[in-house]
Structure 1
C-alpha cells in the first residue's frame, strides 16, 4: 500500500503498476512525516489479513498513528523504518506518536547504526536490523570501464543545497586542472557543469563520466547524512569515492574510499589531488568498492528483511 503519487526532491514519482500494489490518495502529499491517507485503512487490513505490517515511515510520522490504530486488536505484528540519526527535540505530538510506535512495534529496520543506537537509548526493545533498504540491482552490469581520456572529472550527485557541502566542493576544486560535474538541482551555484534534475535511471550514465565521486556533506542542527546512497551507486560503477565524516558517510564508505573532516576545504582538495595523481590507488579503491557494494544488493537486503519479519 502506497501513496498514489509522491513528490521527490528532483521529480514526481507515480506508482509502478503491480497486482500486489494498492495506491491510496493522500492529504499533504510529499510531506514525509506529515501526510495522511484518505482511505479506510482498517478495512484494507481486514481484507488483506497480513501477518506483518511494515510501515515505511519514521516513528514520529502522522501516518504511523493511522496504521497503528487501524491495526489495533488485530493479530498483526508491526515493524517500521527509521533514518533519523540525530537526537532532536520532539514536539509533544511527536513524542506521543513515537511512544505509541515504540510500544506497539515488534521490530525496526534502521538505515544506519546511529539510528539504531538512538532507538535503544529511547527504550525500544524490539528486534533491529541495520539496512538502508535502498539497494543496488545486481542483475545489471554497472562496472563499465571509463576511457580515462579528457580532463580529470570530479563528480557530485544530489541536491545542490548548502548542507550537501557544495560551497566546500567549489573551493576545493578551484584552480585544479579538473572538471567539476554536478548532477542535480538546487539553489547553490556550482563552479562547473550542472545537469539539472535527472531521472534515477540516468544517474549511472553521468557517474561513468566521472573519475571520482565526492559527497562533502555538512552536519546541521536538524540533519546529518543518513546513508549517502549515491556512494554505493558510484561504487557499483567502479568509481572511487570521497566523503566527509558527516553522519553515516564513514559507515557507508568503510575502507573503500577517502574520508575527510566536514567543512575542511584543504583536506578535501588534498584528497582529490591524491586520487588524481595516483591511478593505482584509484584502481584499488574501485576494486574494494565493487566488492563492498555486494552487501547492498536487492537480494542481500531482501534476505535481511525477511529474516526480521520471520523472527518476530
Structure 2
C-alpha cells in the first residue's frame, strides 16, 4: 500500500441492509481521513419471516454498494447460504487493503470473500457462541476461512472460545453493538417510581427460549403489584396467550406487535425495568442482547438471566438472576419493587455502561483499530516473505482493541 493512500476497507455486512439496525455504526468513520470505507449490503434480506429492502446508499462515512444476492433463504442454513455474484468484479476494482465480514466464518459469503480477497487482510466479526460440529461442507468452510483470517472481532468470550477451538490463533478484539443515542435516550419526564405497580417490559421475538414463561410464573409468586408489557411477535405467541389466561394474568399483561425504533424507545420510557430471561439450550445461548443496551440508553435498568453474554452486557445497569428460576426472580422483583432508590442507581449505572462501551463511536473505533492492525500485520508478513524471512511480526499492544 502506498504511504499516502488511505487504507481501503471493504466491509460485507448483511445486518447493514437497514440503517436502524446496522449501518449507523459506520457513520463516525466520516471524520477520519485515514480510511476509505466501502460497505456491501444485500438488495433484499429475508429473516424471521420478514423481507427487508435495503435503505438508499447515501450514508456518511462509508460508500455503500447495494448488490443482489443468490440463495437468500435456501436450505437448512437459511440466509447463511447467500453470496454476491458481483463481488469478484467489485474487489478487483477497489483492490482493498482489508476485507471485513460481519458474517460467520462458516457462511458461504465468508468463503467467497476468502477465495477472492487477493492481497487483502481478512477480518471476521463473529457472534456464534455455541461450539458444535457443523454439517458438511460448513465445518470445512469455517476452518478454511479461520486459517486465512488476520483478525477476529468477537461479540463475547464464548464467541472467542468457538473460533479458538476451530483453529484460529491470531489476535482477537472485543466489539459490542452500538446504540442510537438520539433515539434511545432518557425520557424528558422520568416515570415516577413507587407511585403504582412495578412495570416490567419485554422487547423481542416471542419464542420459548426467551423465558417469558418464567416471568409469568414469577408474577404469580411475587407479593408486589407487577405488570408486564410485551412488544414483539413470534411463533410462541399463541402458547404465551394461553399461559397468560391460565394463570389469571390477563389484566396484568398486555401484548403488541413489532414497532419502529422510536416507538420502542417510547415503550421503554414507561417501564421500571426491562427483562431478558433467555434460557440456554443446545441451539441457543444469548450472543449479546441488543435490547439490553437500548433500554439502558433510555435510563431503564435490566433484569437478565445468566444465559450467555447477558451478565457482561448488563454490567452495573441491572440485576442478574439464574436461568429458569421463577422463584428467585419473584424474590428479586419484590426487592426491586420496594426499593426505588436502587432502581435509580441501576438506571444511572446502565446509562453509564452504554456511554462507556456501546456507543456508535466506540464500535467504529473497534472496527478501525482492527482494520489498521490487520493491514499492518499482513503487510509485515509480505515484506518478511519478500526478504526471505519466515519470522512473524507481532502486533503491537495498541491494536488490542480495548480502547
TM value normalised by structure 2:
0.73
Output the aligned Cα RMSD.
Answer: 1.8
SS at 1:214's partner residue? Answer: strand
Q: Is the 8 A contact 2:123 2:370 kept in 1?
A: no
Q: What residue is the counterpart of 1:138 in the other structure?
A: 181
1:277 and 2:338 aligned: yes
Alignment gaps of 5+ in structure 2: 1-39, 245-252, 375-403
Q: What residue is the counterpart of 1:17 in the other structure?
A: 56
Deviation at 1:232, TM superposition (A): 0.6
Deviation at 1:139, TM superposition (A): 4.7
Q: Is the 8 A contact 2:160 2:172 kept in 1?
A: yes
Alignment deviations for residues 243-264 of structure 1 (CA, whole Å, 9 cap, x no partner): 0001111111123211111000
1:266 and 2:342 aligned: no
Q: What residue is the counterpart of 1:29 in the other structure?
A: 72
Alpha-carbon separation, structure 2, partners of 1:96 and 1:181: 44
1:141–1:104 Cα change, 3 Å: closer
Deviation at 1:183, TM superposition (A): 0.8
Deviates more, 1:281-290 or 1:197-206: 197-206
1:160 and 2:209 aligned: no
Deviation at 1:13, TM superposition (A): 2.6
1:174–1:7 Cα change, 3 Å: farther
Q: What residue is the counterpart of 2:21 in the other structure?
A: none
Which residue of the other structure, out of 287, 300, 303, is the alignment partner of 2:362? 300
1:180–1:141 Cα change, 3 Å: closer
Deviation at 1:276, TM superposition (A): 1.2
Alpha-carbon separation, structure 1, partners of 2:310 and 2:109: 29
SS at 2:303's partner residue? Answer: strand
Alpha-carbon separation, structure 2, partners of 1:177 and 1:84: 38
Q: What residue is the counterpart of 1:151 in the other structure?
A: 197
1:179–1:94 Cα change, 3 Å: same
SS at 1:87's partner residue? Answer: coil
Q: What residue is the counterpart of 2:119 in the other structure?
A: 75
Alignment deviations for residues 220-270 of structure 1 (CA, whole Å, 9 cap, x no partner): 101110111111111111111110001111111123211111000111111
Q: What residue is the counterpart of 1:180 in the other structure?
A: 228
Alignment gaps of 5+ in structure 1: none
Which residue of the other structure, out of 61, 86, 94, is the alignment partner of 1:48? 94
Structure 1 segments of 4+ aligned residues over 4 angstroms from their partners: none
TM value normalised by structure 1:
0.93
Q: Is the 8 A contact 1:11 1:197 kept in 2?
A: no
Alpha-carbon separation, structure 2, partners of 1:222 and 1:34: 19
1:93 and 2:141 aligned: no
Alpha-carbon separation, structure 2, partners of 1:270 and 1:309: 47
Q: After superposition, where does 1:97-112 map in structure 2 within 5 Å?
A: 97-112=141-156
Q: Is the 8 A contact 1:127 1:308 kept in 2?
A: no
Q: How many pairs are equivalent?
A: 308
Alpha-carbon separation, structure 1, partners of 2:331 and 2:229: 18
1:47–1:99 Cα change, 3 Å: same
Alpha-carbon separation, structure 1, partners of 2:317 and 2:197: 24
Alpha-carbon separation, structure 1, partners of 2:270 and 2:353: 22
Q: Is the 8 A contact 2:123 2:151 kept in 1?
A: yes
Q: Is the 8 A contact 2:315 2:350 kept in 1?
A: no
1:123 and 2:167 aligned: yes
